[in-house]
Amino acid sequence: MKDIRAILKSMTLEDKIALCSGANFWETKAYEKYGIPSLFMCDGPHGLRKQENAADMLGVNESRPATCFPAEVTTASSWDTDLIGRIGAAIGEEAKDQDVGLVLGPGANLKRNPLCGRNFEYFSEDPILAGKLAASFIRGMEGQGVGSSLKHFAANSQEHCRFNSDSVMDERTLRELYLPAFEIAVKEGKPATVMCAYPKLNGVHCSDNQALLTDILRDEWGFEGLVVTDWGAMNDRIKGFRAGCDLNMPGGSAYMEKDALKAVQDGSLAEEDIDRCAERVLRLVFHAAETRKPASSCDYEAHHALAKQAALSGAVLLKNQDDILPLREGDSIAIIGYMAQSLRYQGAGSSHINPTHLSQPLDFLPGVSYAPGCDERGDTTDALIAEAVTAAKAAKTAVVFAGLPGRYESEGFDRESMALPEGHNRMIQAVSAANPNTVVVLLCGAPVECPWADQVKGILYMGLPGQAGGEAIADLLYGRTNPSGKLAETWPLRYEDCVSASSYGKTKDALYLEGIYVGYRYYDKAGKDVRWPFGYGLSYTKFRYTDLRMDGNTVSATVMNTGNRTGSEIVQLYMEAPQNGLHRPVRELKGFQKVSLAPGEKKSVRFTLSDRDFSVWQDGWKVPVGDYTICVGSSSRDLPLRQSVHRDGAALPVPQWQHGSFYETCMGTPTQALLESAMGRSYAPEVLKKGFFTMDNSVEEMKDYSFIMKIMYKAVEKTIAKGFGGKADYDNPEFRMMMASSAGSSLRSMQTSGGLRDGIMQGMLDMANGHFFHGIVRIIKG
Ligand code: BGC
């Protein structure tokens, strides 16, 4: 590696500051005079999105063709760390082939609520599962000499107001739920970079957050790489330098660089803080330049095959009454649903890929009859339903393709409900009434309500299966591959059952009232029925669990394939903690392994437990003394093997407010007062008021208080509408996303993402605050 310290020493202060923000949307700055090369980066988590012409952070403009692997929602359901590592490596190969040094993925945020518009890009509601899968992806990619970016650090579990909301939670919740996936991925994956998230965390922007970016990430977890902002997430460049927020992206705006320079000159910011960040930028770009190996083999056909394998492994068989699946060759089959001819295979937003191929299910299902049943928007008509019913009646089995059309789920906004489009529900209901042998293939990036689940015999959940999804579905339906995926998140019966349903997305700030009781941690403690539990998934064969043994920290169990087909089983280990002290979930996942078994074959699976597996966070990790139960089985609610074990440890104090509270019982609804007790502080939302607006406010927020912002909002709307035939089309996810990412983003984000000079947005802000002429002068001065 070059002598980075020497290069740093030779640089002027101005250049060091400037090096710490990008040259443009996707590149760092090159300096010939210092011999510093630039680094090209691009999204994303399940395939490359290299834009060579018009750049945007929304995936709207065309990118170079690349393999579109299944989204994380699907790869997560494979629970297959090896497979996900191979996907990371394949994306790394394509990155090398396309001259990309850093890929912006994977996403490791926790799925807190099923409506988060970006859940399809995240792995799980469980931090251990999310962390292990993210770590594998990172290892695969970094093994190719290509950097990864673990995102969005931290606690960015909603799209609503993502640019300027505050994630408000107690320390224990942060430590036990929202940080561990990142911690595992950092420690075990060693990503080149971590991307800091847009929202604030307990009142402090992630980009300014020294506790997060330095104390925890670097000092506690040993992260040695670089922190890059999410695109437009830099709040205060001076605080960012102090906090260890190294690289401000996208570049082009010189955002607050003059302020940082002044701060060093007047002694309020130490030059060492800038040096530390600049040095990390240098290390990243030189490492990328030096490890960049020529793309000796980038076989896009082989990657398509890998994408298919991932779609096969991530498919979850949710229901298979009377062994309706697999379909028998030669039987008459009616395929219903527009998605069979036009697959929903990826999500919208910055992860959007221009695929090298796209296989449509119908092309791989020869000899079937077909009726679309609905249109591409998910709407239907009496005529479409009548045609579908006729086709269904004439066949032995009807297979309905249903899910969420693109406009329902996207980066940039959250879903409005957990319902499928009305047209899809109608289609399933009509077809299943016409033919008792109905199977549903579901295509969506997050759980949906399935009011018809009892009326159909089979349900195969594909998530968003990527470019090879069509052929994978055909193989699964006909049993050429045995499904083996398991849900990485709980599917509630209805949205209202979700613990955060009454508060999620209702306010600008995200109040994590439910604390650690997210997903199965909540449903299990509340004793609530769910549609399908965490870890659940069927197979065309059967497995039997026996011989649970514990020897010190080692647990082993035997799993046997008792059916007559080869299949894979995901063996899961949960720990049940004592319930007589500090409140704890009923059970938590502590390990998992996927094993493939021929009929009659059995294998022993081993797990090693650590102290951390028994621990809770109470001013540090501590093991509470007591009797624990180790459980092994096939899902969070099917754990045939159990053994109790006594652990020595601490008798931890139970806070007074816990007694009889939601956290102790999971009964009723958690309140702000309870959260405040757990945080040890009170919370008050920001009050919007003319005269008090800051760069953190959005045009959308201010438009009801300020005439100038109202005009600006209309201007933004009109400009964006131009790209949509002049229509402000709020039904179109791209339009909504663009509005949310411009008028809905903070002024500072608008400035950095738009590459605008410092004075423009400041001037607009002055005007919004009632200082019209002052604002005009600021804008003119720039
Ligand atoms: C997204 C990131 C993405 C970046 C660049 C942001 O809006 O949140 O995930 O990597 O844009 O496209």
CA nearest neighbour of 542 among 561, 559, 514, 558 = 561
Q: Could you give phi then psi for residue 734, rounded to 5 degrees?
A: -65, -40
Work out the average pLDDT over 605-633: 98
- Contacts of residue 162, Cβ cutoff 8 Å, sequence gap at least 6: 156, 198, 199, 412, 740
User: What would the mean pLDDT of 457-476 be, rounded to a whole number?
Assistant: 98
How much is the pLDDT for 754? 86
Rounded Cα distance, 97 and 296, in Å: 8
Question: Ligand 1 within 6 A of 57 CB?
Answer: yes
Q: What is the pLDDT of residues 676-720, one digit of tens each?
A: 999 999 999 999 999 999 999 999 999 999 999 999 999 999 999
Residue 54's pLDDT band, with cuts at 50, 70 and 90, is: confident
- The residue contributing the CA closest to ligand 1 atom 11 is 57
> Residue 297's pLDDT is what?
78
What is the band of 168 on the pLDDT scale with cuts at 50, 70, 90? very high
| Minimal-distance CA residue to ligand 1 atom 5 | 57
In percent, the amount of the chain with pLDDT more than 70 equals 99
Q: Residue 779: what residue type?
A: I
Bond before 154 cis per omega within 30 degrees:
yes
Nearest CA to ligand 1 atom 12: 57
HSE of 595, CA atoms in CB hemisphere, 13 A? 23
* Calpha distance 604→559 (Å, rounded): 6
pLDDT(56) > 90: no
Q: State which amino acid sits at residue 423.
A: G
Residue type, 237: R
| Cα-based distances in Å from 261 to 241, 257, 492, 757 | 11, 6, 53, 16
Q: SS3 breakdown of the chain: % helix, strand, coil, rounded to 5?
A: 35, 20, 45
How close is the Cα of 151 to the center of ligand 1, in Å? 9
CB of 150 sitting under 6 A from ligand 1: no
Nearest CA to ligand 1 atom 2: 230
pLDDT at position 730, please?
A: 87
Could you identify the atom of ligand 1 that is nearest to the CA of residue 49?
12
Total length of the chain: 782
Backbone angles phi, psi at 635, to 5 degrees: -165, 175
Q: Find the distance separating the first CA and the last CA of the chain, reported in whole Å.
A: 40
User: What integer best gives the mean pLDDT of the chain?
Assistant: 96
The tokens describing 387, both together, are: 């045609």
Nearest to 147 by CA among 284, 279, 300, 303: 284
Taking residues 355-382, what's their average pLDDT?
97
Asked if residue 230 has its Cβ within 6 Å of ligand 1, the reply is yes
pLDDT tier at 61, thresholds 50, 70, 90: confident
To test ligand 1's pocket by mutation, which of 27, 41, 42, 43 has the most ligand atoms within 8 angstroms of CB?
A: 43
The radius of gyration of the chain's CA atoms, rounded to the nearest angstrom, is 26
Compute the distance from residue 230 Cα to the ligand 1 centre, in Å. Answer: 6
Is the pLDDT at 733 greater than 80? The verdict is no
Q: How many CA atoms lie within 13 A of 583 on its CB side?
A: 22
Give yes or no for a contact between 587 and 613, defined as CB atoms under 8 angstroms apart.
Answer: no
Atom of ligand 1 nearest to the CA of 56: 12
DSSP sequence for 734-749: HHHHHHHHTTTSBHHH
**Is 230 an annotated catalytic residue?**
yes
When pLDDT is cut at 50, 70 and 90, the band that residue 62 belongs to is confident
> Which residue(s) pair with 546 in the sheet?
558
CA of 152 relative to ligand 1 center, distance in Å: 9
Secondary structure class of 258 (helix, strand, coil): helix
Q: Which segments of 620-746 does DSSP mark as H helices, in order? A: 662-665, 672-679, 699-702, 707-722, 733-741
Q: Give the active site residue among 126, 166, 230, 613.
A: 230
Per-residue pLDDT tens digits for 107-133: 999 999 999 999 999 999 999 999 999
277: pLDDT strictly greater than 90: yes
- Tracing tokens 């000899």 back to the chain, one arrives at 367
The reply to whether ligand 1 has any atom less than 6 angstroms from the CB of 206 is no
User: What is the C-alpha separation between 624 and 578, in angstroms, rounded?
Assistant: 8
**Strand 102-103 and strand 147-153: pairing?**
parallel
Question: Given the CA of residue 741, which atom of ligand 1 is nearest to it?
Answer: 7
| pLDDT per position as a tens digit, 325-347 | 999 999 999 999 999 999 999 99
> CA-to-CA distance for 753 and 559, rounded, in angstroms?
53
User: Atom 9 of ligand 1 has which residue's CA nearest to it?
Assistant: 350
Q: Is the pLDDT of residue 295 over 70?
A: no
Distance 56 CA to ligand 1 centre (A): 9
Cα of 265 vs centre of ligand 1, distance in Å, is 33
- Does residue 782 register a pLDDT over 80? no
- With pLDDT > 90 as the criterion, what percentage of the chain qualifies? 92
Ligand 1 in reach of 475 Cβ (< 6 A): no
The sign of the torsion formed by the CA atoms of 540, 541, 547, 553 equals: negative
User: Residue 749: CB within 6 Å of ligand 1?
Assistant: no
Torsion of CA 755, 759, 762, 764, to 10 degrees: -90
Q: What is the pLDDT of residue 73?
A: 98
Report the atom number in ligand 1 closest to the C-alpha of 59.
12
Q: Are 599 and 570 in contact (CB under 8 A)?
A: no
User: Is the CB of 737 within 6 Å of ligand 1?
Assistant: no
Which atom of ligand 1 sits closest to the CA of residue 149? 10
Nearest CA to ligand 1 atom 8: 230
Query: How many Å apart are CA 757 and CA 440, to the nearest integer?
Result: 53
Beta strands across the sheet bearing 204-205: 204-205, 200-201, 166-168, 510-511
Q: Would you call 210 helix, strand, or coil by DSSP?
A: helix
For the Cβ of 170 lying below 6 angstroms from any atom of ligand 1, the answer is no
Per-residue pLDDT at 471 exceeds 70: yes
| Token pair 């394939």: residue | 561
- Distance, CA of 503 to CA of 523 (rounded, Å): 17
pLDDT tens across 79-102, in order?
A: 999 999 999 999 999 999 999 999
What is the pLDDT, as a whole number, of residue 387? 98
Q: Are strands 567-576 and 616-617 parallel, antiparallel or unpaired?
A: unpaired
Residue 758: per-residue pLDDT: 79
Please check the confidence at residue 563 and state whether its pLDDT lies above 80: yes
| Strand-pair partners of 645 | 628
Bridge partners, residue 193, by sequence: 149, 226
Ligand 1 pocket check: which of 27, 104, 122, 746 to mutate, most ligand atoms within 8 Å of Cβ? 104
In the reported structure, the alpha carbon of residue 233 is separated from the centroid of ligand 1 by a whole-number distance in angstroms of 10
Task: Tell which one of 60, 163, 230 to mutate to probe ligand 1, the residue whose CB is within 8 A of the most ligand atoms.
Answer: 230
Task: Give dist(CA 160, CA 162) in Å, integer.
Answer: 5
- Residue 166 tokens read as 């505050």
Nearest to 128 by CA among 591, 487, 614: 591
Calculated CA dihedral for residues 411, 169, 496, 344, nearest 10 degrees: 20
What is the Cα 678 distance to its own chain's centre? Answer: 27
In this structure, which amino acid lies at residue 55?
Answer: A
Could you say which DSSP state residue 661 is in? S
HSE (CB half, 13 Å, CA atoms) of 1? 14
For residue 292, what pLDDT band results from cuts at 50, 70 and 90? Answer: confident
Q: Is the CB of 151 under 6 A from ligand 1?
A: yes
- 8 Å CB contact between 133 and 422: no
What's the longest Cα–Cα distance across the chain?
82
Give the per-residue SS3 of 381-422: CHHHHHHHHHHHHHCCEEEEEEECCHHHCECCECCCCCCCCH
- CA–CA separation, 122 vs 75, rounded Å? 10
The DSSP secondary structure of 264-317, one letter per residue, reads HHTTSS-HHHHHHHHHHHHHHHHHHHHH--------HHHHHHHHHHHHHHH-EE
| CB of 159 sitting under 6 A from ligand 1 | no
Answer whether 350 contacts ligand 1 (Cβ < 6 A): yes
pLDDT of 225? 98
Does 335 sit in the ligand 1 pocket, CB within 6 Å?
no
- Specify the amino acid at residue 670: P
How many helices (H) does the chain have, and how many strands (E)?
25, 24
Relative to the CA of 152, which ligand 1 atom is closest? 9
Question: Ligand 1 mean position to 48 CA, how many Å?
Answer: 13
CB 121 near ligand 1, within 6 Å? no
Whole-angstrom distance, CA of residue 584 vs CA of residue 576: 9
Banded model confidence at residue 35, pLDDT cuts 50, 70, 90 = very high
Residue 200: its H or E element: strand 200-201
Tokens of 403: 């899910």
104 Cβ closer than 6 Å to some ligand 1 atom? yes
Question: What does the pLDDT read at residue 731?
Answer: 80
Kindly give the number of the ligand 1 atom that is closest to the alpha carbon of 44. 10
CA of 104 to the centre of ligand 1 (A): 8
- Rounded to the nearest angstrom, the distance between the alpha carbon of 250 and the centre of ligand 1 is 10
Select from 50, 57, 248 the residue to mutate for testing ligand 1; criterion: most ligand atoms less than 8 Å from CB: 57
pLDDT digits (tens, 9 = 90+) for 737-774: 889 989 999 999 999 988 888 788 999 999 999 999 99
Looking at the DSSP assignment, which residues form a beta bridge with residue 146?
none
Distance 728 CA to ligand 1 centre (A): 23
Contact 622, 649 (CB under 8 A): yes
Token reading at 232: 């437009």
5 — phi, psi (to 5°)? -60, -40
Rounded to whole angstroms, the Cα distance separating 130 from 109 reads 8
C-alpha–C-alpha distance, residues 37 and 30, integer Å: 5
Give the three-class secondary structure for 336. Answer: strand
Q: What is the pLDDT of residue 756?
A: 86
